[in-house]
Amino acid sequence: MRAAERPADPAGTGWPSRLHVVTGKGGTGKTSVAAALALALAAGGRRTLLVEVEGRQGIAQLFGVDPLPYTERHLADAPGGGEVRALAVDAEEALLEYLDMFYKLGAAGRALRKLGAIDFATTIAPGLRDVLLTGKVKEATTRTAGQRRVYDAVVLDAPPTGRIGRFLNVTAETARLAKVGPIKTQSEGVSALLRSPMTAVHVVTLLEEMPVQETVDAITELTQLGFPVGRVIVNAARPPLATGREVTRAELKRGLAAAGLPTDAATVAGLAGEARDQQVRRELEDSLRTDLAELGRPVTELPLLPDGVDPAGLAAFAELLRRAD
């Protein structure tokens, strides 16, 4: 059974959209989260496309594969026979493809590229680059083959929070420059998709002050611009404590003795100091959790992986995201 015959969301509630735009402050792990989401949504025999647009080759590095070309290719298998494909969209390639579609440039297009004309064209018109990138994402999201959607879901590893509003708001950028013509039409089509319930913009954050502040700012901006905000995804959250209260040195010393560990003053003081720092951090994290909860968006937490994000970690993230309600 393919996508057209079933709802976009296997679990029914968690991820109702078809295009998932994943943003977040730099360093929050949005590429890992986007990859895990693509895996999650591909589970059970579905097909998803994971797209990057910033030329960072973050997906290739995450999966330990060769740099991605401007072609959709198999990236990973998802549990239950699903497939994640990946694509690195390049603005110049997208422009050539686009011109070719409308004007049949053929070899002349390549000649123009050699001359630097394509780089030039994507550079002169601010916003043109973004229209081309988002246009390609739209094309993949809505592409059909034999009346069926090619992808059950498309996950975009998008620019960071500081640039996401401008990146998605393609019509505003191009409207200033291209008042008529196919680019204007194109940007209007992209804008309609991005502002429809087909799309959800998810924001990845850490429980740290600046990423949370940027999350709040980005959600305000996205809402004002009319983009549907999906989830807040807290990355690298630490497991809850058993007690959550401060430990006394005497108590700690007894505990260490009971565990057969050294109880010298240096060890006790060192561990007590670590515990105190931990306490400060936890209190701050709790207040940031409250700030995030006040946004009124569903919040999903992914645990800190002490050994970093490896394939097993990605699979674990995917499972947590799949079960998110």
Partner 1 sequence: MVPSEDAAPVLDVDQILADPGVRIVVCCGAGGVGKTTTAAALALRAAERHGRRTVVLTIDPARRLAQSLGLTELDNTPRRVKGIDVEAGGGELHAMMLDMKRTFDDVVLQHTDPAKAAEIFANPFYQAMSSTFAGTQEYMAMEKLGQLHARGEWDLIVVDTPPSRSALDFLDAPARLSRFLDGRMLRLLLAPARSGGRSMFSFVTASFGMFSRVVQKVLGAQLLTDLSGFVAALDSMFGGFRQRAEQTYRILQAGETAFLLVATPEPDAVREAAYFAGRLGEERMPLAGLVLNRVHRPAVALGAVQSRAAADRLADLGGHDATVDVLRAHAALAQQAVREEQVARRFTEAFPAVPTVSVTAQPADVHDVDGLRTIGAAISRP
Q: Looking at residues 69 to 98 of the shown chain, list those that interact with partner 1 (rule: CB under 8 A).
A: 98
Of 2, 143, 166, 289, the residue at the interface with partner 1 (CB under 8 A) is 166
Of 97, 208, 291, 301, the residue at the interface with partner 1 (CB under 8 A) is 208
Are the beta carbons of 101 and 136 closer than 8 angstroms? no
Of 66, 180, 197, 325, the residue at the interface with partner 1 (CB under 8 A) is 180
Taking phi first (over 0 means left), then psi (-120 to 50 degrees means alpha), and beta for anything else, what does residue 140 get? alpha
Which is closer to partner 1, CB of 4 or CB of 210? 210
Instruction: Give the separation between CA 145 and CA 296, rounded to whole angstroms.
Output: 38
Residues shown for the chain:
325
Are the beta carbons of 17 and 198 closer than 8 angstroms? yes
Of 10, 58, 82, 189, the residue at the interface with partner 1 (CB under 8 A) is 58
Residue 284 makes contact with partner 1 by CB under 8 A: yes
Of 10, 14, 135, 160, the residue at the interface with partner 1 (CB under 8 A) is 160
**How far, rounded to the nearest angstrom, does the alpha carbon of residue 134 sit from its chain's CA centroid?**
15
Sequence-distant (≥ 6) Cβ neighbours of residue 205 within 8 angstroms: 24, 25, 28, 211, 212, 214, 215, 232, 233, 234, 235, 292
* Burial class of 93 by CB neighbour count within 10 A (0 to 12, 13 to 18, 19+): middle
Q: How many other β-carbons are positioned within 10 Å of the β-carbon of residue 220? A: 13
Residue 178 makes contact with partner 1 by CB under 8 A: yes
Chain residues 215-254 in contact with partner 1, contact rule CB under 8 A: 238-239, 241-248, 251-252, 254
SS3 string, 248-265, reads CHHHHHHHHHHCCCCCCH
Residue 67 makes contact with partner 1 by CB under 8 A: no
Which is closer to partner 1, CB of 145 or CB of 250? 250
Chain residues 293-312 in contact with partner 1, contact rule CB under 8 A: 304, 306-308
Of 67, 69, 77, 274, the residue at the interface with partner 1 (CB under 8 A) is 274
- Which amino acid makes up residue 171? T
Which is closer to partner 1, CB of 77 or CB of 251? 251
Of 101, 111, 293, 312, the residue at the interface with partner 1 (CB under 8 A) is 111
Which is closer to partner 1, CB of 281 or CB of 323? 281
